Amino acid sequence: MFSGWLVAALGLTMTRRSCSSLSVPDIAAYFGTKTRYEEVNPHLLRDVLTVNASVLRPPATERCVPVHLTAVIRHGSRYPTVKNIRRIQRLSELVRREASGSPGGSGGSGGSGGAAGAADWLQDVQSRWEMWYTEDMDGQLVLKGREDLRQLAARLSLLFPSLLTEENEMSISLRSSSKHRCVSSAEAFQEGLQLHWRHSDVQYRHLVDDKLMRFFERCRGYVEGVEKNRTALLEVHKFKHGPEMERVKRKVAGRLGLHQHHLTADLVEAAFFLCSYELSIKSLHSSWCFLFDEDDAKVLEYKSDLKQYWKRFHGYMISSMSSCPLFHHIFRTLDKAGRPRRSTDAPPEPASILIGHAETLLPLLSLLGLYKDQTPPTADNYHTQHGRSFRSGLIVPYAANLLFVLYDCQRGPRLQLLVNESPVRFPGLETEDAPLYRDVRAAYRHLLDGCDFQRECEGTSVGGRGPNIEL
């Protein structure tokens, strides 16, 4: 619980931000899962409380009203984990010790950004930049991450004024992964709601539920078949040492005046992530960003996307099947909320808020059959994948969210999906934004009747590669 003055202080961060003067590196949309939510919804940079009700699209003729919202939300912006902090440390030491780039260097995005000191970015990274990340920060939510969730809660309250109300407070369910950054995000979401309702004290009442939000680490078939299995991520390793990455490494080494053999793919990636962290944590256009041009960024993005695809997404069927408990939980909640009721019955649960990780969202999106292209991304087909629908930065940036909106309509309940506050259609039901709920159930019948966690996860085989769920 907070005392009044703190709530007032929090309130300050909720005020609408005016047009930001921050210069953003032109590579900011290529940071994969380290992408800011604002890169997906740039209008939020002008006004964080922008809500456009036209994204809710049940048929205009059927007098629909929203009766339930299930929101699966990723935690907000966070510090690097220990592994990346150590890499950043090694990178900064190497650059300080060895780099001898030509002054005024041929920086990648040099000249385009207008960041202060763009001209002497090299001096900056060599001698002025201080390593400020410490290992105890290990993946924790940053202040900006708290704001991400508070602001999302405020926008959802505006978008669903009849569901996320003060009167409904006690019937909104909130569940979170046990990880610190998720619990902090769950708190921040509640702060956002309660500040929106102008409460003077914030009360937290979320439950921690790892069975639901961290299903991936409990699925033996997944852990053994994919996560701990180096062969399963072969495409990632091949690409990491392939010609595209070698070229980026050569260019970056050249810009730093380093011998190429000093620089590893991991260190190049650390510099790229450093640019992303300085932006997402401090809203800073870091000098490290000048090491990369847009072509380099696309290659590094592809490397991250390959990893997410093969580790968490359509790459292996077991990854999506590991999310069966969450899938069933969501549909049980929707079933209950959509059930016909007499006026004397208790009202349906207005909202279910589920806070987890990119690792929670990706398998679920994959199970639902979303973002599935004809050709899977591999180490060899980078040049034909520019138009791919699977770009992790647009799907699971910080504070990413998958919304299930259930409407009560004249012809029966309807369901709409939104990803990061934009409408997305169900595979196989592409003619409508909000198809009848019974049609959605029919499309997922094979999963509703099956998708058994025990059976899928206790088996030992990884299952087929590539396309899995037929819709």
Ligand X SMILES: *[C@@H]1O[C@H](CO)[C@@H](O)[C@H](O)[C@H]1NC(C)=O
Closest CA to 102 of 126, 138, 83, 130: 126
Provide the token pair at 11.
């309130």
Q: Residue 379, interface with ligand X (CB under 6 A)?
A: no
User: Considering the rule CB under 6 A, would residue 225 count as an interface residue with ligand X?
Assistant: yes
Q: Which of 15, 18, 54, 431 binds ligand X (CB under 6 A)?
A: 54
Residue closer to ligand X, measured from CB, 216 or 290 = 216
Q: Say whether residue 52 binds ligand X (CB under 6 A).
A: yes
Instruction: Kindly state whether residue 227 participates in binding ligand X, applying the rule CB under 6 A.
Output: no
164 contacts 69 by C-beta, under 8 angstroms: yes
CB atoms closer than 10 angstroms to residue 84: 20
Nearer to ligand X, 231 or 343 (CB): 231
Structure token digits, residue 115:
């960041």
CB of 72 to ligand X, least distance (A): 23
CA 256 and chain centroid, separation:
32
Q: Smallest distance from the beta carbon of 161 to ligand X, in angstroms?
A: 17
Q: Scanning the structure block, which residue is given the tokens 């001096």?
A: 123
The yes-or-no answer on residue 75 being catalytic is yes
The pair of three-digit structure tokens given for residue 120, joined into one six-digit string: 């002497």
Query: Which range touches ligand X (CB under 6 A), out of 15-23, 207-215, 224-232, 237-245?
Result: 224-232
Taking a C-beta distance cutoff of 8 angstroms, is the pair 170, 347 a contact?
A: no
Q: Which is nearer to ligand X, 39 or 421 (CB)?
A: 421
SS3 track for 261-301: HHCCHHHHHHHHHHHHHHHHHHCCCCHHHHHCCHHHHHHHH
Residue 381, interface with ligand X (CB under 6 A)?
no
* Nearest to 416, CA basis, from 173, 66, 171, 165: 66
How many C-beta neighbours within 10 Å does residue 383 have?
7
Question: Read out DSSP for 200-244?
Answer: SS-----EE-HHHH-GGGG-HHHIIIIIT-GGGGHHHHHHHTSHH
Question: Least separation, in Å, of the C-beta of 46 and ligand X?
Answer: 11
Distance CA 339, CA 76 (A): 34
User: Closer CB to ligand X, residue 163 or residue 418?
Assistant: 418
Which lies closer to ligand X via its Cβ, residue 260 or residue 375?
375
* Distance separating alpha carbons of residues 71 and 399, to the nearest angstrom: 11
138 binds ligand X (CB under 6 A): no
Task: Look at the block and give the residue holding tokens 């041009």.
Answer: 293
Structure token pair of residue 128: 């002025």
- Minimum CB–partner distance for residue 196 and ligand X (Å): 20
Question: What's the min distance (Å) between Cβ of 221 and ligand X?
Answer: 8
In the bound complex, what is the minimum distance in angstroms from residue 53's beta carbon to ligand X?
8
* Total of residues contacting ligand X (CB under 6 A): 8
Among positions 115, 122, 152, 232, the unique one binding ligand X when judged by CB under 6 A: 232
Residues 303-362 that bind ligand X (CB under 6 A): none
Q: Are 107 and 285 in contact (CB under 8 A)?
A: no
- Residue 231, interface with ligand X (CB under 6 A)? yes
Distance CA 323, CA 361 (A): 9
Residue 61: partners with Cβ closer than 8 Å, 6 or more residues away: none
Closest CB 363 distance from ligand X, rounded Å: 16
Strand order of the β-sheet with 65-74 is 207-208, 173-176, 351-356, 65-74, 401-408, 414-419, 422-424
Residue 237 CB, nearest approach to ligand X (Å): 12
Which of 355, 368, 462, 469 is close enough to bind ligand X by CB under 6 A?
462
Please, which residue, 53 or 116, has the CB nearer to ligand X?
A: 53
Q: Of the listed pieces 161-169, 226-234, 268-276, 400-408, which binds ligand X according to CB under 6 A?
A: 226-234
224 binds ligand X (CB under 6 A): yes
Q: Single out the catalytic residue among 43, 68, 75, 237.
A: 75
| Piece of the chain touching ligand X by CB under 6 A; list 23-31, 136-144, 193-201, 221-229 | 221-229
120 binds ligand X (CB under 6 A): no
Q: Which is nearer to ligand X, 38 or 301 (CB)?
A: 38
Distance CA 136, CA 82 (A): 8
Q: Which is nearer to ligand X, 39 or 235 (CB)?
A: 235
Answer yes or no whether residue 60 interacts with ligand X by CB under 6 A. no
Catalytic residue positions? Answer: 75
Residues at the site binding ligand X, with contacts judged by CB under 6 A: 52, 54, 224-225, 229, 231-232, 462
